[in-house]
A and B are shown apart, each in its own frame.
Chain A
Amino acid sequence: MKKRILALFLAVGVLSGLLGGCQEATPTDPIPSDTNGTSTQAPQKPAEIAVGIAQDLDDSLDPYHMTAAGTREVMFNVFEGLVKPDSRGNLVPAVAESYAISPDGLTYTFPLREGVTFHNGKECTFEDVLYSFQTCAADSVNSTVVAALSNVADISEGEGGVVITLTAPDPDFLSMAASVYIIPKDGTDQAAHPVGTGPFRFVSRSIQENVILERFDGYYGAKPALERVTYRIFEDGNALFTALNSGALDLVAHLTVDQVESLTNGYQVLEGTMNLVQAMYLNHAEAPFDSELVRQALCYAVDVDAMLALTADGHGTKVGSSMYPAFGKYFDPALADRYPHDVEKAKSLLAEAGYPDGFSFTLTVPSNYDPHVDTATVLVEQLKEVGVDAKLELVEWNTWLEDVYAGRNFQATLVGFDASTLTASAMLARWVTDNGKNMINYANPDYDSAYAAAQDPSHTEEEQTAYYKECLDILSRTAANVYLQDLADFVAVAPNLKGYEFYPLYVMDMSLLFFE
């Protein structure tokens, strides 16, 4: 059926420079500094491309109402905040010319860039920025951003731009500010005809067929080489692959290794990661997963390397806790080796926990994303070896959201979590005992105190990092979940199309692409 790429908890956000390392496209190519030449150099090929995407932009296009990760991935090219992320995970000035933070962490100054115009031709002013922050705070469907904006005491004009004062320091505020897209205050119908300041302007969308963007010639920054980008929608993964392989598309991201290896059209294949933590999440409120021994037994029973070999020919990065490699500062690859595959050990742990003959449970998996279903299929087979009978239950995405995520009515589920803002707290806050999003009902006082210490502003950055790492170690030690991997993300690109870069976010930056 329909395959909607879901990156859970949509990466609204942006990084705050915390990230240590970010992956890049493997064959990297220099980005042309002067792109005017590229479009004239290649007269045989018009500077327009067709990109295949796996889901329709079927939610609102209003920047504060977008919910689907796939919609954000496209609209990243249309909207910008005061600052925006680059492919290395740094925040760079966008609508603002620069930014400055006062030593007490309460005042943020953003001088506005000269000559920034909206796609409707109007110039961007302080009034527009004020309107954008107010509308976002009142309207956004993202409760994290709304909560962060409720901390804003005042927005005033000054220092050639915008001065924002907070009531309490918030180390994540800059990344939150990046997700407040700047829109014109008299912009009428953002939901259907979005207007922003980005390098591409929205032209049209045709339901379940395509979305068309065109280069915005009034863009203040380097002009993109591509004149026109048509996103063609294939809600069926097989149809998407068929179209890609037949050459009807120039670029498709989020392919699986099997698809990539089935490609016969000579496209370049780039490999990155999806930036999520795929795990079998266990409901600690349900027997037998209330037992740490049982959870550890499952960790020993699962052979992640074999699973990767089966589902992705060994591609993908093993993770041992709730953190993925793009967070270089916190990610510890050693945690992935805590529970090596050991059937005997798993059996003895199960016996010790009082399940010498194993047990059976239901593994609920949303049906719309094949890689999770494939992984679950392999795990079910692996768990048989230790006498654990997992019954796979596929559910629709909306049912999963209501029953499993919101209702916590499940035994085990297999999904991927990503960070809503690329901060450690975005990955770790949810496992605090009384957190509203603590889907697995994890309750560990050590974890709670380590997390509280990490959040305490009186600690130095090194101390904070150490506490976050301790949180990760506790999750791993107590086998909070059966941690699996950060999925490999494959992108197929037409042979003469260059410049693709992976972001540590769920976006595709069209402004970097050019034909050779």
Chain B
Amino acid sequence: MGKRTNLFLLLGGGLTALMVGLALLGTFWTPYSPTAMGAGEKFAPPSLAHLLGTDNFGRDVFSRVLQGMGASLLIAACVVAIGCLAGTLVGCLCGYFGGPADYLLTRLCDAVTAFPSVLLALVIVSLAGRGTAQIVVALGILFIPSFARLVRGETARHRQANYIQSARLMGVSHGRILTAHILPNLWGVLGPGVVIGFNNAVLSEASMSFLGLGVQPPFPSLGSMLSDSQTYLQRAPWYALSAGMAIALLILGFSLLAEGLQRRRRA
């Protein structure tokens, strides 16, 4: 079993490290400017000069993919951070105190989960305009319920535990119990949750950008590149493939990593 655990952690970690490394590289350096255009070089197929070819404006697809991955990861990080922090807060309080407030908040979480994500994103975008910050907020809100549910269950389980009950009897305050005893115990579920969250956040960002709601042109985003490339599928298949594969590899890295982490936890 140990051997396989290593395999998933290794594969997932390696792939994630590679993609994150490339994305980091992309934020500081790209072979070409991701927005530089060249009329003479439209739809150039992959070559040594342009590793992944060029797009309909003659822009270097490799440079755009690099920067697009950076944007995707940054958005995913912010989204997961919002979802995780707010979700943990809501989940902890609900799980620990219970009562009608818990009931209502849980229903609200259900409602947000049931609310079509596209609609929420559209509402926020219509209110505050299109852009990176707006999409972060929209997706962040959507990610709160899953973390809240996770944390709520775990907190409720711990609340019943003997050591918490005795701490309570010894007169330890609620705040102290939450921060000193319950929070540290949440890492076990939050760890894989965060990795899976990344996985979902990358996918959601790509979906939103695919619908034109995410990162705005001329800045590259994997989802919007994929959407743009559809028209040129036959003329420049490398354009769609590069963007699509980048999304798939990012997600694969995270999901292998999550699998590895879960197996290690079980083992």
Which residues of A are in contact with B by a Cβ distance under 8 Å? 1, 237-238, 241-242, 245, 258-259, 261-262, 264, 306, 309-311, 313, 367, 373-374, 377-378, 380-381, 392-396, 399
Contact = CB atoms under 8 A, between A and B. Distances in A.
A258 B230 CA distance: 12
A392 B232 contact: no
Nearest to B211: A1
Contacts of A394: 130, 212, 216-217
A119 B3 CA distance: 79
Contacts of A377: 57, 217-218
A241 B37 contact: no
Contacts of B1: none
Nearest to B236: A262
A367 B213 CA distance: 10
B129 interface: yes
A514 B36 CA distance: 46
16 contacts: A1-B212, A238-B227, A238-B231, A258-B232, A261-B235, A262-B232, A262-B234, A264-B234, A310-B37, A313-B42, A373-B217, A392-B216, A392-B218, A393-B130, A394-B216, A399-B126
Contact of A259 (B36, B42, B231): B231
Interface of B: 35-37, 39, 42, 56-58, 126, 129-131, 211-213, 216-218, 227, 230-235
Contacts of A396: 126
A80 to B, nearest CB: 36
A363 to B, nearest CB: 11
Nearest to A261: B235
A84 B234 CA distance: 41
Contacts of A264: 234
Contact of B231 (A241, A367, A378, A399): A241
B235 A310 contact: no
Contacts of A310: 37, 39, 42, 57-58
Given A1-B211, A392-B218, A381 B235 contact: no
Given A377-B218, A380-B218, A392-B216, 9 more contacts: A1-B213, A237-B231, A238-B230, A245-B234, A262-B235, A306-B39, A309-B39, A392-B218, A393-B131
B234 A393 contact: no
Nearest to B129: A393
A237 B42 CA distance: 20
Identify which of A264, A394, A395 gathers the most chain B CB atoms within 10 Å of its CB. Answer: A394
B177 to A, nearest CB: 48
Contacts of B57: 310-311, 374, 377-378
Nearest to A306: B39
A258 B211 contact: no
Contacts of B130: 367, 393-395
Nearest to B122: A396
Given A1-B212, A306-B39, A381-B35, A395 B218 contact: no
B59 to A, nearest CB: 9
A313 B43 CA distance: 12
A399 B56 CA distance: 28
Identify which of A311, A381, A393 gathers the most chain B CB atoms within 10 Å of its CB. Answer: A381
Contacts of A241: 230-231
Nearest to A305: B39
Contacts of A392: 216-218
B113 to A, nearest CB: 24
A238 to B, nearest CB: 4
Contacts of A258: 56, 231-232, 235
Contacts of A261: 235
Contacts of A373: 217
A241 B56 CA distance: 16
Identify which of A258, A306, A378, A399 gathers the most chain B CB atoms within 10 Å of its CB. Answer: A258
A84 B46 CA distance: 53
Given A258-B56, A262-B232, A396-B126, A381 B218 contact: yes
A512 B151 CA distance: 68
Identify which of B35, B36, B42, B231 gathers the most chain A CB atoms within 10 Å of its CB. Answer: B231
A258 B55 CA distance: 11
A380 B56 CA distance: 16
Contacts of A309: 39
Contacts of B232: 258, 262
A242 B37 CA distance: 26
Nearest to A390: B218
A381 B231 contact: no
A310 B130 CA distance: 25
A374 B232 CA distance: 15
A173 B218 CA distance: 45
A238 B224 CA distance: 13
A393 B133 CA distance: 13
Contacts of B230: 238, 241-242
A50 to B, nearest CB: 20
Contacts of B217: 373, 377, 392, 394
A399 B42 CA distance: 33
B37 A381 contact: yes
A311 B58 CA distance: 10
A340 to B, nearest CB: 17
Contacts of A238: 227, 230-231
Contact of B212 (A367, A378, A381): A367
Contacts of A393: 129-131, 216
Contacts of A311: 57
B26 to A, nearest CB: 19
Nearest to A393: B129
A393 B232 CA distance: 24
Nearest to B232: A262
Contacts of A262: 231-235
Contacts of A259: 231
Nearest to A384: B35
A237 B216 CA distance: 19
Contacts of B212: 1, 367, 394
A380 B34 CA distance: 13
Contacts of B233: 242, 262
Nearest to A1: B212
